[in-house]
Structures are given as C-alpha cells and as structure tokens.
Amino acid sequence: MSACNISFIGAGNVAEALSLRFITAGHRVLSVASRGGSSAAALAASTGAEWRRDMSVADDCDILILAVTDTSVSEVASAITVPDHTIIVHTAGSVPLSALQRTSRAGVLYPLQTFTKGFIPDISKVPFFVEATDETTLEVLKSLGNQLGSGAYECDSERRRYLHVAAVFTNNFSNFMMTAGETIASGAGFDSEIMRPLIEETARKALRAGPSAAQTGPAVRHDSGTIKSHLELLSFSPEYQKLYRLISGMITRFYKKSGR
C-alpha cells in the first residue's frame, strides 16, 4: 500500500511498538499527543514526529490511532478534532467499534499481543484483528495489518471480546502461574531464577504441539496422592490451596472429556 500519514493519541507501549513498526514499513508518523504529556514528547522525538499538546491532528493526517487504555477510548474519541477524511482507529481488544462515535471512516486495529514498557514485541509476528464502519476503511486496515504483522483478520466487536478474554488466560493468567511458582520456590529458600529453564521448556512444548497436547503433571495422570500431598504443603496459603484445587479439577475433567 502507499505510504500513509499517521498520528497517535496515546504514547504508551502499544503506541511505541506500532509507531516504530509503521516507520520501518515506510509510513510517516506526523504527530503524537497524550494526556500525560511527557511520554508523548519522548515518542515524538524518537519517531521524528510533532509533539501535539492538544487532541488535534494536521490536515494531511490519513489515519489517527487512539492507542490509549481500553477505559479511555470513548472519552478520548469525544475530545478529538479531526478532518472528515481522516480515518480514526482504536487498538483495544475489549472496546466496541461504536465507542469511536462515527458512522464512517472509523475502525479497529487490534494487535493480539502483550505490550509492556521496555519489551517491544516483534510486530511482524503479531496477528491483527480488524473491523470498520465501511468497506473502504476495512480495506485500508486489512492492508495495514497484513503489512505490519503476520496477517489481518476480520473480526467484529463481539468476537474480539472473546479474543481479548482468551488472551487474558493465555498471557496474564499463565504469567501469574509462573509468578506463583517463583513465589513458592523462593518461600522455600530457592533462588527464583532456578524456575526459568522450566518456563522456557513450557513455552517450547506449547509452541511445538499446542498446550493441550503438552499438558503434564499429577492432575492429568490422576495422581491423587501427589495432589493431596501438594495441598497439605500449601496449607500456608488457603488461596493457593483453592487455586490448586480448582485448576487440578479442571485439568482432570478436561482430559477425561477429551479422552486422554
């Protein structure tokens, strides 16, 4: 696709990762604005863009991306001043397209990935889920998603919500299980770093054959003796016990149903 002039509102992790990727793909970042202020100044400087202190964009802006937290999309959409020809896009998984309050030239470009300060993911491996108010805008967003990431998939607001909750399990919750593992190990006097090779292998197996084929442990092999002994050991935390019991039960039932 031809080069676009892109502006950002929001200068957090998503804006940072996307803006850098837009530049390497040959687009131009016109301006960056944020309510916080200083993070926008820094991102504007690193992308060669103008730092805007208000919610406006230049007349030649093709696409304005609202890369703000899910809870702010709607409020920011009400506050912006944008030419009619400019496409307005948000990047949030759980927010409907309607939050942009526009009946044309509005869309969603949702990158299915986790973004944290200091960890810029490889956007070229990220699948983008797109939705738009009209066919022309949809085609623009599809082209962008295909160009920036591993692909662009049409997905309406309702299905995108499922994707977002799925991502919470895949990333947020699995990550917290690893934190729990390290907390238990360090509580018993071990350096928490000793768990790292296990984290690496967990991902390697899940990536190779899918997580459901990679499942191991006492719950999947119905080892009730070990489960009981673990629950005793976790008596220092009723919360860990509850979590252990719930997940073990779910694992057992999942593999009973699927016949393993």
Q: Which of residues 9-48 bind a copy of itself (CB under 8 A)?
A: none
Contacts of 73 (CB under 8 A, 6+ apart): 66, 90, 92, 95, 99, 100
Is residue 61 within 8 A of residue 128, CB to CB? The reply is no
- Residue 104 lies near a copy of itself (rule: CB under 8 A): no
- Residue 164 lies near a copy of itself (rule: CB under 8 A): yes
Give the residue with the Cβ less far from a copy of itself, 23 or 167. 167
Q: Which residue among 1, 75, 168, 260 contacts a copy of itself (CB under 8 A)?
A: 168
Q: Which residue among 208, 235, 238, 259 contacts a copy of itself (CB under 8 A)?
A: 208
- Residue 169 lies near a copy of itself (rule: CB under 8 A): yes
Number of residues that bind a copy of itself (CB under 8 A): 92
Minimum CB–partner distance for residue 135 and a copy of itself (Å): 22
Contacts of 108 (CB under 8 A, 6+ apart): 89, 90, 91, 92, 95, 97, 129, 130, 131, 132, 141, 157, 160
Minimum CB–partner distance for residue 99 and a copy of itself (Å): 12
- What count of Cα atoms within 13 Å lies in the side-chain half-sphere of residue 241? 10
End-to-end CA distance of the chain: 48
Total residues belonging to the chain: 260
**Contact region with a copy of itself (CB under 8 A), list: 29-37, 45-53, 134-142, 158-166:** 158-166
Residues 47-86 that bind a copy of itself (CB under 8 A): 69-71
- Locate 40 and state its tokens: 């926008």
Is residue 79 within 8 A of residue 102, CB to CB? The reply is no
- Residue 221 lies near a copy of itself (rule: CB under 8 A): yes
- Residue 204 lies near a copy of itself (rule: CB under 8 A): yes
Minimum CB–partner distance for residue 166 and a copy of itself (Å): 4
Q: Which residue among 59, 84, 135, 239 contacts a copy of itself (CB under 8 A)?
A: 239
Minimum CB–partner distance for residue 7 and a copy of itself (Å): 25
